[in-house]
Each structure stands twice: as C-alpha cells, then as structure tokens.
A and B are shown apart, each in its own frame.
Chain A
Amino acid sequence: AQSVTQPDIHITVSEGASLELRCNYSYGATPYLFWYVQSPGQGLQLLLKYFSGDTLVQGIKGFEAEFKRSQSSFNLRKPSVHWSDAAEYFCAVRDAGNMLTFGGGTRLMVKP
C-alpha cells in the first residue's frame, strides 16, 4: 500500500529565508506526486504535481519540488518565503486510480 511521510510537523522560518519541506513516499510503481497547501478556513489548493519527465517541477507562488527516485523523496522548496506562505502543506501520492494518499502535513510559520 502506498504511504506518504512528512517528517516535520511544524517548521518556522524567517520571512525572506529559504524553505524546504520534506516528503518521502512509498509506492510500488512510478508515483504521481502532489503538493497541496491549506490556509486557515480554506480548501486544499494544488501547488504543483509530478507525473513524469523533468524531475524538477515548478508550481504556483514561486514553489518548486524535486522528485528523487533513489531517495523516494519529493521535497518542496521556495527560495524566499513570504509571510503569506504561512499555512499547512500536504504532500500526496496518487495511485493508478484516483485515490490520493496524503502525508500528515507540515505547518509552516513565518517570522517577521
């Protein structure tokens, strides 16, 4: 069965600093990988996705993620964090059907 692990429950960074959120997955075949963001009172918004091809994918809001098969990882990065990036971030893997399996989430706090 597929699974997703986000090792960091909480992360605090200073505004303007770089960010990396970790995600490790377990899946038998080539995974479809996603990062979602959830702001308070909002639904889950798709930041980016990886299906195949270039292992570095660009998303919205200046985010990018790199798929590393050898490490079973799909870490999310942003070079310079803004206060508005404070939210909860979820990594997810999709199976051959439609079912998304989510990680436990990482809550990002941004210090001024």
Chain B
Amino acid sequence: EPEVTQTPSHQVTQMGQEVILRCVPISNHLYFYWYRQILGQKVEFLVSFYNNEISEKSEIFDDQFSVERPDGSNFTLKIRSTKLEDSAMYFCASSASTGSNEKLFFGSGTQLSVL
C-alpha cells in the first residue's frame, strides 16, 4: 500500500526556535492535511491544503504556523517561534479526493518536543 512519509520522526527544539516538519504525500494525491496530537489528548485538525492554498484551518493554526508545498513532492509545516505547548505528535495526511471515495492516508508522525 502507498505510504505518506514524514521526517524527522523526532524533533527536539528550544522554545522560540523555528521548526519545519516535512512530509512526502502519496504521489498522485491532491489534498494535504496536518493534524496534531498532544500527549494524552485528542488528535486535532490543523489545516487542509489544496491547489497551493489553504482550504480550511482550525483555531490552532494561528500566525505562527504556515504550510507550503515547495516542490512537486514535499508538503511542509513551519512553526515560526515554537512554544512549550507546541510539543505534540504531528501527523501529515493526504487524499486523492474529498468525496465519498475519499480515503485519508496518514504518515507515522513527527514527535516534536519543545524545551
């Protein structure tokens, strides 16, 4: 089965530093997503991306966050100035469509630890 790949699997950073989390979605997919899961809490939607622009975002996705598809294969999440509360597992996902046939494929996640 095709896979969504996320790198790195673990990222440790100092508070206030910028981090970029990287994702390689499945090659023929057009819709891209970021979710996160703070330890002990629910998986939360951050943002969806289609046609080189954000299609939907949650309240969590404030000005400190940005997403980009810099080339034909990567999809990145940038946090400009990390805070302690940004520590979480970040999941990237992609899908070929959004209709009734939609199947979301998730990566294995990047564990971000902000010290």
Cβ-defined contact, A97 with B55, below 8 A: yes
Of residues 40 to 54 in A, which have CB atoms within 8 Å of B's CB atoms? 41-46, 49, 51-52
**Alpha-carbon distance between A54 and B102 when the two chains are bound, in angstroms:** 18
Cβ-defined contact, A97 with B48, below 8 A: yes
- A97-B55, A98-B55 given as contacts; is B108 within 8 A of A43 (CB)? yes
Q: Which residues from chain A contact B93 at a C-beta distance below 8 Å? A: 44
Cβ-defined contact, B103 with A46, below 8 A: yes
**Alpha-carbon distance between A46 and B4 when the two chains are bound, in angstroms:** 13
Stretch at the interface among A19-27, A72-80, A101-109: A101-109
Cβ-defined contact, A44 with B106, below 8 A: yes
Cβ-defined contact, B42 with A103, below 8 A: yes
**Alpha-carbon distance between A104 and B103 when the two chains are bound, in angstroms:** 21
Of residues 38 to 71 in B, which have CB atoms within 8 Å of A's CB atoms? 41-45, 48, 55-56, 58
Cβ-defined contact, A98 with B56, below 8 A: yes
Question: For the complex, is A29 an interface residue (Cβ under 8 Å from B)?
Answer: no
Cβ-defined contact, A41 with B103, below 8 A: no
Per-residue interface assignment for chain B, residues 102 to 114, with 1 indicating a CB less than 8 Å from any chain A CB and 0 otherwise: 1111111100000
Quick one: which of B6, B35, B55, B108 contacts A100, CB cutoff 8 A? B35
**Alpha-carbon distance between A45 and B3 when the two chains are bound, in angstroms:** 10
Instruction: Give the residue name and chain of the B residue nearest to A102 (CB).
Output: B43
Per-residue interface assignment for chain B, residues 83 to 115, with 1 indicating a CB less than 8 Å from any chain A CB and 0 otherwise: 000000001010100101011111111000000
Instruction: Give the residue name and chain of the A residue nearest to B32 (CB).
Output: A98
Q: Which residues from chain B contact A52 at a C-beta distance below 8 Å? A: 100
Q: Which residues from chain A contact B35 at a C-beta distance below 8 Å? A: 100
Question: For the complex, is B31 an interface residue (Cβ under 8 Å from A)?
Answer: yes
Cβ-defined contact, A99 with B45, below 8 A: yes
**Alpha-carbon distance between A49 and B106 when the two chains are bound, in angstroms:** 15
Cβ-defined contact, B91 with A43, below 8 A: yes
Cβ-defined contact, A44 with B91, below 8 A: yes
Cβ-defined contact, A42 with B56, below 8 A: no
Q: Which residue numbers of A lie inside 8 Å of B, CB to CB?
A: 36, 41-46, 49, 51-52, 90, 92, 97-105
